[in-house]
Amino acid sequence: MNAPDRRIAHLDMDAFYASVELLRYPELRGQPVVIGGRSIHKPAERADGSREFSRLREYAGRGVVTTSTYEARALGVFSAMGVMKAAQLAPDAILLPADFDAYRHYSRLFKAAVASIAPHIEDRGIDEIYIDLSAIDEDSRSLGTRIKQAVRDATGLSCSIGIAPNKLLAKICSDLEKPNGLTIIGEADIPARIWPLAVRKINGIGPKANDKLGALGILTVGDLAHADAGLLQTHFGRNYAEWLHSVAHGRDQRPVVTSSEPKSISRETTFERDLHARLDRDTLSGIFTGLCTRVADDLKRKGYVSRTIGIKLRFADFRTVTRDITLTAPTADPATIRRAAGECLRRVPLERRIRLLGVRAGALARPDEAPQDAVQHDLFAT
Ligand code: TTP
Ligand code: MG
Ligand code: MG
Model confidence pLDDT, tens digit, residues 99-112: 999 999 999 999 99
The reply to whether ligand 1 has any atom less than 6 angstroms from the CB of 68 is no
> Structure pTM?
0.72
- The b-or-e profile of 113-122 (16+ CB within 10 A means b, else e) is bbeebbebbb
Q: Are residues 20 and 92 in the same domain?
A: yes
The reply to whether ligand 1 has any atom less than 6 angstroms from the CB of 14 is yes
Task: Identify whether 375 is part of a domain.
Answer: no
How long a stretch of residues is the chain?
382
Report the C-alpha dihedral over residues 332, 334, 337, 343, rounded to 10 degrees: -170
Domain CATH number, residue 335: 3.30.1490.100
Q: Are residues 72 and 107 in the same domain?
A: no
Between the alpha carbon of residue 248 and those of residues 170, 239, 241, the distances in Å are 14, 14, 11
Binding residues for Mg(2+): 12, 127
Q: Are residues 144 and 69 in the same domain?
A: no
Pick from 132, 128, 126: nearest CA to 99? 126
Q: Look at residue 354 in the predicted model and tell me its pLDDT.
A: 96
The reply to whether ligand 1 has any atom less than 6 angstroms from the CB of 12 is yes
CB within 5 A of ion ligand 3: which residues?
12, 127-128
Q: Which ligand 1 atom is the nearest neighbour of the CA of 68?
A: 7
Structural domain boundaries enclosing 148: 8-13+102-189
DSSP, residue by residue, 116-166? TT---EEE-STTEEEEE-TT--S-HHHHHHHHHHHHHHHHS--EEEEEESS
- Ligand 2 centroid – CA 124 distance (Å): 11
Q: Look at residue 201 in the predicted model and tell me its pLDDT.
A: 95
> What residue ranges of the chain have pLDDT lower than 50?
370-382
CA distance 104 to 67: 15
CA distance 187 to 194: 10
Which amino acid residue places its CA nearest to atom 5 of ligand 1? 15
| Ligand having the closest approach to the CA of 15 | 1
Q: Look at residue 370 in the predicted model and tell me its pLDDT.
A: 43
- Ligand 2 centroid – CA 12 distance (Å): 5
Task: Identify whether 169 is part of a domain.
Answer: yes
Q: Which ligand 1 atom is the nearest neighbour of the CA of 128?
A: 2
- Ligand 1 centroid – CA 357 distance (Å): 22
Q: Look at residue 180 in the predicted model and tell me its pLDDT.
A: 98
Q: Which ligand 1 atom is the nearest neighbour of the CA of 127?
A: 14
Pick from 294, 313, 310: nearest CA to 302? 294
Binding residues: 12, 127
Which amino acid residue places its CA nearest to atom 10 of ligand 1? 14
Count up the domains in the chain and report the number.
4
The reply to whether ligand 1 has any atom less than 6 angstroms from the CB of 21 is no
Q: Which ligand 1 atom is the nearest neighbour of the CA of 35?
A: 19
- Map 362-374 to HEC letters: EEEECHHHCCCCC
Q: Are residues 107 and 176 in the same domain?
A: yes
Q: Are residues 239 and 306 in the same domain?
A: no
CB within 5 A of ion ligand 2: which residues?
12-13, 16, 127
Residues in contact with 327: Cβ distance below 8 Å, sequence separation at least 6, in sequence order: 306, 307, 308, 309, 336, 340, 379, 380, 381
Task: Identify whether 2 is part of a domain.
Answer: no
| Parallel, antiparallel or unpaired: strands 67-68 and 33-37 | antiparallel
Calculate ∠ Cα 171-10-258, nearest 5°.
Answer: 115
Task: Identify whether 382 is part of a domain.
Answer: no
Long-range contacts of the stretch 24-27 (C-beta < 8 A, 24+): 24/102, 25/51, 25/53, 25/96, 27/51
Task: Identify whether 3 is part of a domain.
Answer: no
179 φ, ψ to 5°?
-80, 165
Which amino acid residue places its CA nearest to atom 28 of ligand 1? 79
234 φ, ψ to 5°?
-60, -40
The reply to whether ligand 1 has any atom less than 6 angstroms from the CB of 305 is no
Pick from 234, 235, 245: nearest CA to 214? 235
Task: Identify whether 260 is part of a domain.
Answer: no
The reply to whether ligand 1 has any atom less than 6 angstroms from the CB of 54 is no
Is the Cβ–Cβ distance between 55 and 91 less than 8 Å?
yes
Q: Are residues 365 and 282 in the same domain?
A: yes
The reply to whether ligand 1 has any atom less than 6 angstroms from the CB of 99 is no
CA distance 133 to 85: 42
CA distance 58 to 47: 22
Q: Look at residue 232 in the predicted model and tell me its pLDDT.
A: 96
Q: Are residues 356 and 283 in the same domain?
A: yes
Is the Cβ–Cβ distance between 162 and 129 less than 8 Å?
no
Q: Which ligand 1 atom is the nearest neighbour of the CA of 17?
A: 18
CA distance 340 to 350: 17
Which amino acid residue places its CA nearest to atom 24 of ligand 1? 66
Residues taking part in catalysis: 128
Q: Look at residue 295 in the predicted model and tell me its pLDDT.
A: 97
Domain CATH number, residue 90: 3.40.1170.60
